[in-house]
Structure 1
Amino acid sequence: MPLLITAIAVVILILLISIWKMNTFIALIIVSAGAALAFGIPVEKVAATIESGIGGTLGHIALIFGLGAMLGRLVADAGGAQRIALTLINKFGEQKIQWAIFIASFIVGIAMFFEVGLVLLIPIVFSVAREMRVNPLYLGISMLSALLATHCFLPPHPGPTVIAGEYGADLGSVLTYGCIIAIPIVIICGPLFTKISQKIIPSAFEKVGDITALGTQKTFKDNEMPGFGVSLLTSMLPVILMMIATFASGIFSKGSFISNTISFIGNPSIAMLISILLAMYTMGIARNISIKDIMGSCYASISAIGMMLLIIGGGGAFKQVLIVGGVGNYIGELFVGTSLSPILLAWGVAAILRIALGSATVAALSTAGLVVPILSNYDVNLALVTLATGAGSSIASHVNDAGFWMVKEYFGLTLKETFATWTFMSTILSILGLIMLLCLDVFL
């Protein structure tokens, strides 16, 4: 019965979002309430369970998520992201332009959420493609693979940040292992996959694309942009601080002054706070931008992620209902005595939910509700389980995913061409992520 109720709840959620076009947050709350009643949770505790799921999820990530959005917006509005992209493009030259796009997108992708990074970088990709007389998709696949990998594997993006909190994984370890697997995956799914795609679906590389829907994009003159070094440091500082804390924990004795200081600075929330303060100076004050305009960028970034925060909260509510309803415990009993890796289990559940629901974040959060209760039965690295969930939630982006339609429309592709490029690439990225995580698990 627990699995049947869960399956019915997921089907209803799919119908509400995909068929009846209901707002995702509202659909999640309706399904969560209905599932809670079906699980036999007392009527007087249904609302409390939903509120607990929303509060528990947002309470952990709201600060990191909010400051991360502000950091990305400040870097973009000051021209820092454009400086990073253009500098790398100029350094690599025409022969290695794909690698320049890949590296620039990876760096920018760390500081910005997928949709924001896509809207910011795609005009640059189209501009460079025109200048070098190549098809936009020839450069676009490298950009898309980098943005998708950072979205699914690297904090402060919502998926890995939220799931790390739910599983109790160390966010610094998630970031470190995420970088280890993300970089080679993006190389394979970017420049190398582009060569394969040109042979599989050559018609996709003949389209000119259309980004007029993005409106007029702000472009900066050279003297209006901050320097490359300061732009790179500002964008990467959260990653640098969290990685330093992770490595330092294995060097300095726990409880020492140095260890405590580095741990404090490398705490994800404090690292983001330090980074946003630096960004306010390097991307604002140092460039004679008024505090009012700096705060304007911060306000704009938060308003842009408001609905995403609600959706994450709604996913947390559904996750909590699954836990309180006993679904996770039931699944745990099914797997008692089995040798199935929880890494493979988390990936599989997230992949199924991603294909069904479309949203990578909702799929990842729902997976947590099913997987968390069984983790105590296994001696497993929780950071790897977190990344496996992220990998599963990136698979097979198709017609129920907003990203699918953005790629299709901007690059002027047909449905067949979008499936053969974007959907195929996201699937390869997901499967490679699982393979590399299983390999890492052998050595950790």
Structure 2
Amino acid sequence: MSTIALLAIAAGGIGLLLLLIIRFKVHAFLALLIVSVLVGLAAGLPLATIPATEDQPEQLGIIPAIVAGMGGTLGTVAILVALGAMLGKIIELSGGAESLAGRFTKILGPKRIAGALTAAALVLAIPVFFDVGFIVLVPIIYGFAKLAGVNPVKFGLPIAGIMLAVHVSIPPHPGIVGGAALLGADLGWITLIGLAVAVPLGVLSHFVSKWLNRRDFPMLAATAEAFRSFGAERDDLGGRGGGNGGGGAGGSSRGLTPTGATSVLTKTEAPPSAGMIVGLILTPLVMIGLGTVGATLLPAGDPVRDVLGFIGSPIFALLVTVLLAGYLLGTRRGWSAAHLAEVSESALGPAAVVILVTGAGGAFAKILTESGIGTALSESLLATGLPLLVLAFLVSLALRAAQGSATVAILTTSGLLAASVAEGGYTPLQIALLALAIAFGALGLSHVNDSGFWVVTRYLGLSVRDGLRSWTILTTVLGLAGFLLVSVAWGIVSAIGA
């Protein structure tokens, strides 16, 4: 199929997806699956998988591609979202998020909370994948927003923006590390330059988000209900005592049983200390950091590196933290095992929506990849004759818009440009800057085919329309700003011959 036809199908598919969701109010999960099937049919994907031959690799059929895309996305995301939701719910219902929010409000003052949280998010995002870090911070975002009396998007938007900027541009995140390997770029230079660029991007994320938030974004009904009951649920679920849930003074309250019925709860604990909550939040970050240090400093095959890699895997780190939170915030403070299970179960309902929509986004991205639309876009841009630095940014941006994954955009663009970089006689500093130009291209245009779009918008309660008017704009501004800073550095490096 011709490049023009593939590009037209891509534009039509994304347009139909937006129409279904925004105009006809089709649920995002169904809309993504419908459009995935239609795009696959229009692009000529086979109805059944064609086995590989000597002359041609295996070509997935439409439904197998959807299953592979959804399964590949959910293999990690489902576990992380579920564990993160449980951790957040335990912290929330114990009163921990409010305790931490109150402490920081007292120390920093209400006018500096958003900036301080954004700065903290920049640091926390370095060793932690974007989805994990944002999910862990959601209860804190809710707690601060509740105390300040504002929509959680006021604090959540700049936090998510800078965390994604760090995720695409600073090792040890997979996209930039893999891209550096393909280009032969030095990770040390990438890290130093990436951190130098991330600091002004953090400031920009704060102020651009503040500008975007000049309008009030109405929360989705489900998110509004979750946010309304945030903290109040502590009186319902967080108040159950040990044993069979009775005993102790402190008044009574009502809570949900695992089957949804109500029961009378008779004990309310004091909220945990802010220090304990900080310790729990830092636990997975430290564990993941250990894995990163091991992978960076130790050679492949070293048994210590393998142990640190296991300890530092995000799934294991979150699992350990959930178990610690269950004990420290629940069992040790009087919650029964049944009540702790009830609290954990109460987190899975809202998480299921995020998981399914995220998986459907992965299915759509797989169809776009299998159809050759991403390749058609990149080849069209490569034929323009633009400078390599500009091409690196534009190809990555186009791939990001076409198939959603920042990591895939970085790796694909790096592979496409690897030969040009190798033959161009560039210095190590210039190659590092080319890698970062690719990374910041993958930062922009996060929209409906990006799993991160759905994670951010669903947790912050943004509709698709509002997500496009806030999150998509923010990521694109940050990507453009990152590329401009890299271009300035390129000019300086080229001028001095470094």
| Same fold (TM > 0.5) | yes
8 Å CA contact retained: 1:85, 1:101: no
8 Å CA contact retained: 2:444, 2:478: yes
1:67 is the counterpart of 2:83: yes
CA distance in 1, matches of 2:438, 2:346: 34
Q: Which of 246, 271, 276 is equivalent to 1:230?
A: 276
The residue aligned with 2:231 is 218
1:389 is the counterpart of 2:469: no
Change (3 A) 1:33 1:95: closer
**Stretch deviating more after TM superposition (286-295 or 98-107):** 98-107
8 Å CA contact retained: 1:332, 1:373: no
1:54 is the counterpart of 2:70: yes
1:377 is the counterpart of 2:416: yes
The residue aligned with 1:346 is 396
Deviation at 1:94, TM superposition (A): 6.3
The residue aligned with 1:357 is none
5+ residue gaps, structure 2: 49-60, 126-131, 181-186, 217-222, 236-267, 419-430, 494-498
1:25 is the counterpart of 2:29: yes
8 Å CA contact retained: 1:75, 1:81: yes
8 Å CA contact retained: 2:91, 2:139: no
* Partner SS for 2:316: helix
Change (3 A) 1:97 1:7: closer
8 Å CA contact retained: 2:70, 2:359: yes
**Stretch deviating more after TM superposition (115-124 or 18-27):** 115-124
Letter in 2 for 1:376: G
8 Å CA contact retained: 1:32, 1:318: yes
The residue aligned with 1:305 is 351
Q: Which of 326, 332, 338 is equivalent to 1:280?
A: 326
1:8 is the counterpart of 2:25: no
Deviation at 1:100, TM superposition (A): 5.2
Change (3 A) 1:271 1:437: farther
Change (3 A) 1:46 1:141: closer
8 Å CA contact retained: 1:98, 1:191: no
The residue aligned with 1:326 is 372
- 1:29-108 equivalences in 2 (<5 Å): 29-44=33-48, 45-93=61-109, 96=112, 99=115
Change (3 A) 1:394 1:386: farther
8 Å CA contact retained: 1:36, 1:46: yes
8 Å CA contact retained: 1:364, 1:393: yes
* Partner SS for 2:297: coil
Q: Which of 383, 404, 427 is equivalent to 1:364?
A: 404
8 Å CA contact retained: 1:142, 1:189: no
TM-score normalised by the chain length of structure 1: 0.69
Change (3 A) 1:332 1:145: closer
**Stretch deviating more after TM superposition (37-46 or 18-27):** 37-46
Deviation at 1:35, TM superposition (A): 1.0
Larger radius of gyration: 2
5+ residue gaps, structure 1: 127-135, 206-210, 354-362, 409-414
Change (3 A) 1:76 1:364: farther
Change (3 A) 1:114 1:393: farther
The residue aligned with 2:206 is 190
Letter in 2 for 1:323: T
CA distance in 2, matches of 1:333, 1:428: 25
TM-score normalised by the chain length of structure 2: 0.63
CA RMSD of aligned residues (A): 4.8
8 Å CA contact retained: 1:80, 1:225: yes
Deviation at 1:31, TM superposition (A): 0.9
1:39-72 residue CA offsets vs partner (Å, 9 max, x unmatched) = 1112232211211111121123222222122222
CA distance in 2, matches of 1:120, 1:310: 26
Deviation at 1:297, TM superposition (A): 2.5
Deviation at 1:29, TM superposition (A): 0.9
CA distance in 2, matches of 1:47, 1:233: 45
8 Å CA contact retained: 1:167, 1:386: no
Letter in 2 for 1:345: V
CA distance in 2, matches of 1:299, 1:386: 38
The residue aligned with 2:135 is 112
Letter in 2 for 1:393: S
1:122 is the counterpart of 2:145: yes
CA distance in 2, matches of 1:389, 1:70: 30
1:110-153 residue CA offsets vs partner (Å, 9 max, x unmatched) = 35378766544322112xxxxxxxxx59x984554225434x35
Letter in 2 for 1:85: A
8 Å CA contact retained: 1:58, 1:312: yes
Deviation at 1:7, TM superposition (A): 1.0
CA distance in 1, matches of 2:328, 2:108: 26
CA distance in 2, matches of 1:124, 1:16: 37
Deviation at 1:197, TM superposition (A): 9.1
8 Å CA contact retained: 1:76, 1:82: yes
8 Å CA contact retained: 1:28, 1:318: yes
Deviation at 1:390, TM superposition (A): 4.2
CA distance in 2, matches of 1:169, 1:63: 26
Deviation at 1:404, TM superposition (A): 12
Bigger helix share:
1
The residue aligned with 1:146 is 159
1:294 is the counterpart of 2:340: yes
Deviation at 1:20, TM superposition (A): 1.0
Change (3 A) 1:85 1:73: same
